[in-house]
């Protein structure tokens, strides 16, 4: 009998403990000891047995009580040292990936929220691998901690939940991680972005939360026929419902929506696609991020050519939409968007049929 991944007992590791949990763990010890442990973990970013303000016997006890969630399996460097990807092995030997990207004025870490993904987007390498289990809040937070340790003086300023998994399918743990990144690590809510393929209930829950973090939607098609094929969750929550939820989020938070669009040659990179996308984006006041599709073994098409990407962006601009071509990072180390995958697993990929333009409605919405 196959185990239900969502019912599995998840590990409790170091960064599953915020200040309140540390106080409970330390029991009757003085409050200043709690502060010292919290300072060591969240400000000094050291292991419990390296917190020099603690007595040796307490450090040894905490080493066992506060285990690390992540063990480095692979570390790859690309873009002349500006992109670093880790393959982490978790305490149950599951594998996840994290990517740190340095830019001129900021450093962004892209973290995973699940082991694998159940959303089934055929062009995404992670989606082709299927779903294993949710990550804990501590496993998510520790990815940021490890990235900050790597970054050093080039402080991690932005966190994006755009790695393996659908964050809103793991909402409670994802939001605990968001709150810990904000409250314990001191990241501004406007520097945290949660990405979704379009889980409407999760978007509406985000809108009700106190922290107004950024919302990004992996759109990839702006008509329901094509999006049903590219992003199967659209069959449950079609574009009209998705748009309504995004409006609620904007009204409650004031955060401008981002729309992610992976450009696939001859699938969603034609003038009619630009017309549909521009109409959808304008109606929401959204910004569009264009991303040339990164090659994956399980998808039969290729990303749009640089010239076609440029033309598509120009078409959007002419239609009054706000669009940016995102610089592709880490392609040579399988770190770019859509390439996050557990390379050590020899798991069969889902066979995917390429959508046919002749099978879809090509007229732009009214």
Give the active site residues: 97, 337
Cα–Cα dist 303/313, whole Å: 15
Which is nearest to 230 in space by CA: 189, 273, 193, 272?
Answer: 273
Which is nearest to 214 in space by CA: 258, 167, 177, 155?
Answer: 258
117, 168 in Cβ contact below 8 A? no
Cα–Cα dist 213/194, whole Å: 7
| Helix 271-284 × helix 306-318 angle, to 10° | 50
Cα–Cα dist 323/109, whole Å: 22
Give the residues across from 264 on adjacent strands. 303
Alpha helices, H only, the chain: 19-26, 31-38, 56-65, 125-129, 137-151, 171-183, 200-208, 224-230, 239-253, 271-284, 306-318
User: 3-class secondary structure for 87-152?
Assistant: EEECCCCCEEEEEEEECCCCEEEECCCEEECCCCCCCCHHHHHCEEEECCHHHHHHHHHHHHHHHC
- C-alpha triplet 41, 47, 51: angle, nearest 5°: 75
- Beta-carbon contacts of 283 under 8 Å, excluding residues fewer than 6 positions away, are 243
Cα–Cα dist 85/261, whole Å: 23
């Amino acid at each position: 009998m196959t185990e239900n991944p969502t019912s599995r007992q998840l590990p409790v590791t170091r960064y599953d403990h915020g200040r309140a949990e540390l106080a409970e763990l330390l029991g009757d010890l003085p409050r200043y000891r709690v502060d010292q442990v919290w300072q060591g973990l969240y400000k000094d970013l050291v292991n419990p047995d390296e917190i020099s303000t603690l007595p040796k016997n307490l450090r040894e006890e905490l080493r066992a009580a506060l285990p690390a969630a992540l063990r480095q399996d692979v570390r790859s460097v690309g873009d002349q040292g500006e992109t670093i990807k880790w393959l982490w092995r978790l305490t149950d030997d599951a594998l996840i990936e994290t990517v740190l990207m340095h830019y001129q004025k900021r450093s962004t870490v892209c973290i995973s929220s699940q082991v694998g993904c159940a959303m089934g987007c055929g062009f995404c390498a992670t989606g082709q691998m299927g779903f294993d289990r949710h990550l804990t809040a501590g496993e998510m937070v520790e990815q940021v901690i490890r990235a900050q340790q790597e970054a050093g003086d080039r402080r991690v300023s932005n966190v994006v939940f755009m790695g393996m998994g659908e964050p809103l399918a793991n909402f409670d743990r994802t939001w605990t991680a968001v709150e810990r990144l904000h409250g314990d690590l001191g990241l501004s809510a406007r520097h945290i972005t949660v990405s979704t393929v379009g889980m409407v209930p999760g978007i509406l829950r985000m809108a009700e939360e106190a922290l107004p973090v950024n919302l990004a939607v992996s759109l990839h098609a702006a008509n329901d026929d094509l999006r049903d094929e590219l992003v199967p969750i659209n069959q449950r929550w079609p574009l009209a419902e998705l748009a309504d939820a995004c409006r609620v989020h904007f009204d409650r938070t004031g955060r401008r929506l981002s729309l992610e669009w992976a450009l696939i040659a001859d699938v969603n990179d034609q003038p009619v696609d630009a017309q549909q996308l521009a109409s959808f984006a304008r109606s929401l006041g959204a910004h569009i991020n264009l991303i040339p599709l990164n090659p994956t073994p399980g998808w039969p098409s290729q990303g749009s050519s640089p010239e076609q990407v440029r033309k598509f962006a120009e078409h959007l601009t002419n239609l009054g939409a706000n669009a940016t071509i995102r610089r592709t990072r880490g392609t040579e180390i399988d770190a770019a968007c859509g390439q996050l995958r557990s390379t050590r697993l020899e798991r069969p990929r889902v066979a995917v049929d390429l959508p046919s333009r002749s099978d879809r409605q090509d007229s732009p919405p009214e």
